[in-house]
Structure 1
């Protein structure tokens, strides 16, 4: 259980990060406000290490979004007016992680802090992989539909490319590597090769689920992009939970 001063400190940190995200045009006002709530829940009910990883994800995602932004804007493939994200994006990417923190705090059977950490990092790895695949892969001139492998225009729902797949795997691996290093600093965490391998696998897996959903039910208009993000991130977290039971 956290001491009162720790809770106050984490809240102050989340306030600072939310203000920073807003004034640096990383998030809009509503997005920053929701990010504050997500940050408090994750740090207080989960771990401050989770908040650090979430911050790194936010910064790298913004960097990927801003990469060759003017070209994306001309093609109609951009986010926001300057690359900023809104509360819907925060909810789609952060809801699963928030739920994981609440489950860990509530002491749900089979979801202790270690298992929850695997699930959290895996969820984050999915979000990172999907962002990288979308923002970098869009410049690959030869995307194909994941279900048929037929050529499609860049930005098509369910479209995948070699560049995007490599970016997705790299982002999932880097996210997992950072988690491994941070968890190594916590004496309460037991780390091993699986600490890196499981989130990397789950992150890349979730990214493929995102593409499959995009090529099927999203393409048919039965679900939106943000709903797809939520489901794919949840799939990565669930796979991590199953694998954690085996290891």
Structure 2
């Protein structure tokens, strides 16, 4: 992409992210690097896809923002909702596409060099009949990396739209990993609704439509030039549009499945709402020692006795914080003051010792950023594999540099 367009556009995106608090400072830096990786590509397509995804994603994030913030709770105890995105979140959505952009830009650079060499040699041998040098275009059965780039943004856009708009569904979502599709609180990882699925399809349509408008398809005007390839027919374009649109939609479904299976959802008992981790990180569930255990009382008594013998604290402190010995069924039982702020083993719980947070679903193997990156990588690679099979070209040709 020409620098005269890329530089101002990147600066405007940075200003917008900063003024609207869409990204953290580290997130802005990561986004700037991502923009540079996309702008290096000679086609406008990658940079435009990045811009459209960023603008559309931030737009749906702010749709009924106050309503969405009341549907979940923050891990720090405040209301939920999406805060500024971190550098990890930026990279989770765009790292795969950035790598593919850089690799494809390098491939196009090598091809352009080869075309230039052929043109020079042709002009020397036949000055009056030299071949006309054209831009390397996207031919039917062409570059697999281009399919991977578009698939990446179609999938992450579908996932963003599904998450941000699906939570506004009137009914409770259903857990996609549950055999019975049981209802779960809004914001549960793996929870799906008709509104969320429809929103995901809309996000995919937006990206694929943009891609088709900016893809330099090989056509009749480039067919006779060096760098020109097989011309796309109308039916072939429709096939590409349908495939990428459906593939992006399936990406949001896969993200829901991975999240429901491998990402733990934590529910706040007091409100019945899902607890959201800041920046997509894991939400901790308190799992301290059992305050009724013998080990806990023994260590607690030792702490209080040591404090009294050393002269620290007062008798009133000992009365307030020391363990009490009571008779239960003829046997003595030692109890502690569970509200003692000096007790490092206190659990976050109600007065009846029940935990304030419980696991709603999922294994604690991945956080939200891990799930997003894994989904984007799988779907990008899968789209290239399907295109390679359909076009009858080796999958390894996507990464060839010679």
With normalisation by structure 2, the TM-score equals 0.55
Instruction: Give the C-alpha shift of residue 7 in structure 1.
Output: 4.4
Question: Greater CA deviation, 223-232 or 165-174?
Answer: 165-174
Does residue 254 of structure 2 align to residue 209 of structure 1? yes
Aligned mate of 2:145, from 109, 116, 122: 116
CA distance, structure 2, for counterparts of residue 70 and residue 142 of structure 1? 18
Deviation per CA, 1:165-205, whole angstroms, max 9, x where unpaired? 11111211221112112226887796511331222122112
Does residue 134 of structure 2 align to residue 131 of structure 1? no
Instruction: Give the C-alpha shift of residue 24 in structure 1.
Output: 2.9
Deviation per CA, 1:147-169, whole angstroms, max 9, x where unpaired? 22111111101111111011111
The RMSD of aligned alpha carbons is: 2.4
The match for 2:39 is: 43
Aligned mate of 1:231, from 331, 349, 374: 374
The match for 2:280 is: none
Q: Quick check: which has more Rg, 1 or 2?
A: 2
Larger helix share, 1 or 2 = 1
CA contact (8 A) 1:133 1:168 kept: yes
CA distance, structure 1, for counterparts of residue 50 and residue 383 of structure 2? 18
CA distance, structure 2, for counterparts of residue 161 and residue 46 of structure 1? 40
Does residue 244 of structure 2 align to residue 199 of structure 1? yes
Question: Greater CA deviation, 118-127 or 16-25?
Answer: 16-25
CA distance, structure 2, for counterparts of residue 117 and residue 26 of structure 1? 28
CA distance, structure 2, for counterparts of residue 25 and residue 107 of structure 1? 37
Deviation per CA, 1:211-238, whole angstroms, max 9, x where unpaired? 1111111121110001100011112211
CA contact (8 A) 1:42 1:51 kept: yes
* Unpaired segments ≥5 residues, structure 1: none
The match for 1:146 is: 176
Q: Which runs of 4+ in 1 moved over 4 A?
A: 184-191
CA contact (8 A) 2:44 2:214 kept: no
Does residue 206 of structure 2 align to residue 161 of structure 1? no
CA contact (8 A) 1:118 1:195 kept: no
Aligned residues: 237
| SS of residue in 1 equivalent to 2:187 | coil
Question: Greater CA deviation, 198-207 or 13-22?
Answer: 13-22
